[in-house]
Structure 1
Amino acid sequence: MRDYSIKEIKAIEERLEHTIQKLEKLQKQAGIEPFIDNSDFIRIFKISNSTAKNWRTKGIIPYVQIENKIYYKVTDIKELFAI
């Protein structure tokens, strides 16, 4: 695996942030609220699957379940963590 310089990493982060902002703008214009799935949620916030399940059970974080997949609204996550 290639090692990236700090400058290259910063450039990648800036492009990702720009892309995220564009996607959020497009989703907002289309009336689509962004969601993330459970695996991304636990990975991003460095919590266990059982912690996420406890939070859902206790009503700490609202969620939507479609078949066996669990999703969270980004706005609910921001509200929970006051991001």
Structure 2
Amino acid sequence: MKQYDNSDIEEIETRLEQTIKRLEKLQKQVRVEPFIDNSDFIRIFKISNGTAKNWRSKGVIPYVQIENKIYYKVSDIRSLLNKNYSTI
């Protein structure tokens, strides 16, 4: 079994810190925006599947479709709510 001296440990710590900094930088560059699926969208808004489909076809809410699954960006949902917010 290899014995590590202080210089070995310092080198390992330095490489580990460098790796952590690179990972943190990558995480900042690769921010994935949260999405919700159609079933959650329908449940949150308490609407029917037909209403959600109607909103999509009218361009009321942007969406992503991958095969038969539909997803919405959370930021697009917030935008929809803000655009339609009324104090009256």
State TM-score, norm by structure 1.
0.63
Deviations 1:27-52 (CA, angstroms, capped at 9, x unpaired): x8441000000000000110110000
Which runs of 5 or more residues in structure 1 are unaligned?
1-27
Q: CA RMSD in A?
A: 1.7
Q: Is structure 2 residue 73 aligned with structure 1 residue 73?
A: yes
Partners of 1:55 and 1:67 lie apart in 2 by 19
- Counterpart residue type for residue 72 of structure 1: Y
From the CA coordinates, give the structure whose radius of gyration is larger. Answer: 2
Q: How many residues are aligned here?
A: 56
Partner SS state of residue 33, structure 1: coil
Instruction: Report matched runs for 1:3-82 at 5 Å.
Output: 29=28, 30-82=30-82
Partner SS state of residue 61, structure 1: coil
State TM-score, norm by structure 2.
0.59
Deviation beyond 3 Å, 4+ runs, structure 1: none
Which runs of 5 or more residues in structure 2 are unaligned?
1-26
Q: Quick one: percent identity of the two aligned structures?
A: 75
